[in-house]
Amino acid sequence: MPRGDKEVVVSDSEPGKVEPQQGGEKMPSPAPSKKIFMEDPSEYRPELKDMLIGKDQEEFRGFYNEDNERYDIVAETYSQMHSKQTVEFVKHMHEKWTKLTHFKMTIMEAVEKLDELVDESDPDIALPNSIHAFQTAERIREAHPDKDWFHLVGLIHDLGKVIALHGEPQWATVGDTFPVGCQFSNKCVFPEYFDNNPDRSHPVYRTQYGMYEPNCGLEKVQMSFGHDEYMYHVLVGNGTSLPVEGLYMIRYHSFYPWHTGNDYDYLCNEKDRSMLEWIREFNKFDLYSKADSIPDVESVKPYYQSLIDKYIPGVLSW
């Protein structure tokens, strides 16, 4: 390996090729990987050095900047998402994915799978999500050295995006989340795209509370389906020992209309409100770590493997 370069793993497997378990057949493990080398974002795409590293906080989440080279793909992702994420669609996705019968994989293998994924909803960065995982984790580790579970949450928070590598469109995988079955909020990005959502004309779903009771709690609310909700079910379904604060971060870190827009409090209970500051603390690292340089992944992997072994070990069902 050239001196100073970082080793990044890229899988050879083809998206969408893993089939659900049938009968007693063994679910497949991920395909063998090949390796490429990467030093920093400017090595991966030279223009990112000026665009991303050292970026000021107020420059993040610039969804409406039409001069951004990512504007068109981001806007199209949200157009599809806000038009198609309905109550019925979310029920279908829960039925399809939360039974965890699709494939087997360890946490670290899932991190490496995200080498293949660039998030089409993100206006800030066009790097593989695996790099962002280590950036987030390392920044949390620096700020909260005594909370090892928090470090692990930083690493795994986006792993639910692996479903985009198994046949799901990115509008059903990435991006900001929102409740379905009640009134859509103007605090969502691109709220105008909800005009094409059939639930907007539903006599119940178009009202403020919709199919919910006031202050019912977010655990009773159906969120738009994506990587947050899926990864929460993967963790719980595989018996993680992560604390409830970590599980809330995983499940609601993309719920920007709530934790940043200050909307939907009318659906929250006291447990949700007590978790809100934890989610906001996590969000600082999730969002702004994108401006950090890339950590030496190979040197920190053993530390994160020890956390995986502690909190969510072994081969998991996905």
254 marked ligand binding residue:
yes
227 marked ligand binding residue:
yes
User: Which residue type is seen at 95?
Assistant: E
User: Which residue type is seen at 124?
Assistant: D
Q: What is the dihedral of CA 312, 316, 317, 318, to 10 degrees?
A: 80
61 marked ligand binding residue:
yes
158 marked ligand binding residue:
yes
Q: What is the dihedral of CA 29, 30, 32, 38, to 10 degrees?
A: -150
233 marked ligand binding residue:
no
263 marked ligand binding residue:
no
C-beta of residue 50 within 8 angstroms of C-beta of residue 105 = no
42 marked ligand binding residue:
no
C-beta of residue 38 within 8 angstroms of C-beta of residue 6 = yes
121 marked ligand binding residue:
yes
187 marked ligand binding residue:
no
272 marked ligand binding residue:
no
146 marked ligand binding residue:
no
**DSSP codes of every residue in the chain:** --TT-EEEEEE-PPTT-PPPP-TTPPPPPPPPEEEEEE-SHHHHSTTHHHHTTT--GGGS--TT-TTSTTHHHHHHHHHHHHHH--HHHHHHHHHHHTT--S-EE-HHHHHHHGGG---TT-SS--S-HHHHHHHHHHHHHHH-TT-HHHHHHHHHTTGGGGGGGGT--GGGTSS---BSSSPPPTTSSSGGGGGG-GGGG-TTTTSSSTTS-TT--GGGSPBPPSHHHHHHHHHHHTT----HHHHHHHHHTT-HHHHTT---GGG--HHHHHHHHHHHHHHHHHHHGGGSPPP-HHHHHHHHHHHHHHHS-SPEE-
**Residues in binding site for Fe cation:** 132, 157-158, 227, 253, 286
**Residues in binding site for substrate:** 61, 119-121, 161, 175-176, 253-254
**Residues in binding site:** 61, 119-121, 132, 157-158, 161, 175-176, 227, 253-254, 286
